[in-house]
Amino acid sequence: MENQYKADLEDRDQTIVSLRKKLVAKDDEIDKLRQSDIAKEVVINKLRSKSRESDQDSRSEYSGARAPANVVLKLELQKKDDLIDELKRQLDRTRSDKTPSGRVDSSTVQYAQRVEVQ
């Protein structure tokens, strides 16, 4: 009987080690995604800044006429926003997968707001 208890304890220890490894792997994956989001936010902020500068330049140089660069920047911002939204949806789908215990683990994702360049 004692051998059975020892075997059960070893099985549980292995399960604990396995679960801890999975948890560390998931945490690492989440950290990588967060770092990716931070990098994308920096790019978006740079694009917004360029957009504002281009908008100011176009108003002074062309007497209110729009410079073609504004349209390009606006499209680029929209593409980046769409990509960020898609990546966040993918992350949300991976987080909403069922956990080994059978419960649903989900989170709320706040999507980026669109920037309008005029």
Terminal C-alpha separation, the chain: 78
Q: What is the mean pLDDT of the chain?
A: 75
Does residue 110 fall inside a structural domain? no
Does a structural domain hold residue 112? Answer: no
Is 0.75 surpassed by the pTM of this model? no
pLDDT, tens digit (0-9, with 9 covering 90-100), for 28-82: 998 888 888 888 888 888 888 888 877 666 555 444 445 556 777 777 778 888 8
Answer with the residue of higher pLDDT: 117 or 8. Answer: 8
Task: Say if 90 falls within a structural domain.
Answer: yes
Q: What is the pLDDT of residue 107?
A: 56
Enclosing H/E stretch for 49: helix 2-62
* Range(s) of the domain holding residue 83: 2-95
For residue 97, the 8-state DSSP code is S
Report yes or no on 16 lying in a domain: yes
Tally Cβ neighbours within 10 Å of residue 77.
20
Considering the domain boundaries, does residue 109 fall inside one?
no
What pLDDT digit, counting tens, does each position of 102-115 carry? 555 555 656 666 66
The verdict on residue 73 lying in a domain is yes
In a domain, 106, yes or no: no
Tally of domains within the chain: 1
